[in-house]
Amino acid sequence: MQHLPSAQPADDSYPSRGQCRSALRPRIDPVVYAAPSANAPLDSDRVERYRREGYLVMDDLFSATEVESLQAELQRLRSDPHLHESPLSITEPGSGALRSLFQVHRCNPLLRRLAADPRLADIARYLLDDEVYIHQSRVNYKPGFRGREFYWHSDFETWHVEDGMPRMRALSVSLTLTENVEQNGPLLVIPGSHRHFVQCEGDTPAEHYKKSLQQQEYGVPSDACLEQLVAEGGIRSVTGKPGSLILFDCNLMHGSNGNITPYPRSNLFLVYNALCNRVVAPFGTQPARPEYLSSRAQIEPLAAAPRFSLESV
Ligand code: 6CS
Ligand code: FE
């Protein structure tokens, strides 16, 4: 019986950090949970591509008018002085520019409706084959000129160790709100990396999120693991015009470079978790992170809803 640190639950399917060594471990969970279906919200080619590569880009879901209303709403959020002072906002180290705003699906009626929009929620319900709830939402405003990088990481490794997400049965959707071009720090992904669990080293510091959301140093892959993932899958940058949707598995290895161009890169992220995969106690050694990073006290399955309308904003 492998000795686990006292705080690490014995039934941990994805041990990481603490006494673990850096290693690639097999993923024991499916990527696509649903059986093929004629009335699936994604065609079979897209489902297969998602299963194989761990992500999908769709630029045909939202109209220009819908994107414009979302852009206006997020600019309004960005200039709300109350939000700027709240713990929901994370600033760039150094410049102090707004980098991320969390829990936007709860504080904003339009984004609450977007999260329930069938164009997103039905795809999540299908791929995860369960009712879903929002585990986390955020707007990443990667400012121009001084937008910092996000180092390589698997979101699931953090959500498992620090939030207590049991299994890989969650996915993120990222809606591009500005042009995401090669030069302004677009999302970088390693196709196929989601099929390995990258075990990380190091002890999670207390209140790690106060640092990791600006610059993540724990829960990141070793150089050797990264080299092996890249050797197998390569690296792709995910660019797109405003309104493109990037759908990616919770365990896909991703990151982004800095942005020294004058063009900001803003994306809205919504994380859908299967209701049966709701967070439990963290699998790591630190207390659970706050509610605005990981829904816990308020886990409500998303009700079926109409497309989000622009009338009653
Ligand atoms: O710690 C988290 O939950 C966040 N960190 C990153 C870099 N991506 C996922 C998530 O928003
Ligand atoms: Fe991430």
Q: For residue range 201-212, what is the model confidence (pLDDT) as tens digits?
A: 999 999 999 888
111 Cα–ligand 2 center, Å: 20
Please, which residues have CB within 8 angstroms of residue 195's CB and are 6 or more apart in sequence? Answer: 26, 27, 31, 54
Separation of CA 203 from chain center: 22
Q: pLDDT value at position 107? A: 85
Q: Give the DSSP H or E segment for 127.
A: helix 118-128
Structural domain boundaries enclosing 91: 62-301
The pLDDT tens digits for 20-30 are: 999 999 999 99
Can you name the residues that pair with 154 across neighbouring β-strands? Answer: 253
Rounded to a whole number, what is the distance in angstroms from the first to the last CA of the chain? Answer: 56
Give residue 254 CA to ligand 2 midpoint distance, Å.
7
Q: Distance (Å, rounded) from C-alpha 218 to C-alpha 79?
A: 31
Flag whether 312 is in a domain: no
Atom of ligand 1 nearest to the CA of 216: 7
The answer to the question of residue 14 being in a domain is no
Q: What is the mean pLDDT of residues 162-173?
A: 98
Q: Which atom of ligand 1 is the closest one to the Cα of 138?
A: 11
Q: Tell me if 283 sits within 8 A of 15, measured CB to CB.
A: yes
Specify which residues 238 forms β-bridges with.
187
Above pLDDT 90, what percent of the chain?
75
The rounded Å distance from CA 209 to ligand 2 centre is 13
Residue 123, pLDDT score? 97
Instruction: Assess whether the C-beta atom of 150 lies below 6 angstroms from ligand 1.
Output: yes
**In this structure, what DSSP letter does residue 259 have?**
B
Q: How far apart are CA 121 and CA 61, in angstroms?
A: 13
Q: Which atom of ligand 1 is nearest to the CA of 209?
A: 1
Question: Which backbone phi and psi does 197 adopt, to 5 degrees?
Answer: -100, 120
- What average pLDDT does this structure show over 282-293? 97
Regarding pTM above 0.85, the answer is yes
CATH value at residue 125: 2.60.120.620
Q: State CA 273 to chain mean position distance.
A: 11
State if residue 216 touches ligand 1 by the CB under 6 angstroms criterion.
yes
> Do 238 and 127 contact (CB within 8 A), yes or no?
no
Query: Is the beta carbon of 293 within 6 A of some atom in ligand 1?
Result: yes
In this predicted structure, what is the pLDDT of residue 5?
41
Query: Do the domain assignments include residue 241?
Result: yes
Domain count, the chain: 1
- 250 lies in some domain: yes
Considering only residues 258 and 214, tell me which one the structure prediction assigns the higher pLDDT: 258
- 3 within some domain: no
Q: Is 75 left (phi over 0), alpha (psi -120 to 50) or beta?
A: alpha
Report yes or no on 46 lying in a domain.
no
Average of per-residue pLDDT values in the chain: 92
Distance (Å) from CA 37 to ligand 1 centroid: 32
Asked if residue 12 is part of any domain, the answer here is no
Helices 109-116, 64-78: inter-axial angle, 10-degree rounding: 140
Cβ atoms within 10 Å, residue 237: 15
1 band by pLDDT with thresholds 50, 70 and 90 = very low
**Three-state secondary-structure class, residue 273:** strand
Ion ligand 2: residues, Cβ under 5 Å: 155
State the distance from the centre of ligand 2 to the C-alpha of 132, rounded, in angstroms: 19
Q: Best mutation site among 136, 160, 246, 279 for ligand 1, i.e. most ligand atoms within 8 A of its Cβ?
A: 136
| DSSP E strand boundaries for 149-200 | 150-154, 170-176, 187-189, 196-199
Residue 170 falls inside a structural domain: yes
| Torsion on CA atoms 291, 297, 301, 305, rounded to nearest 10 | -60
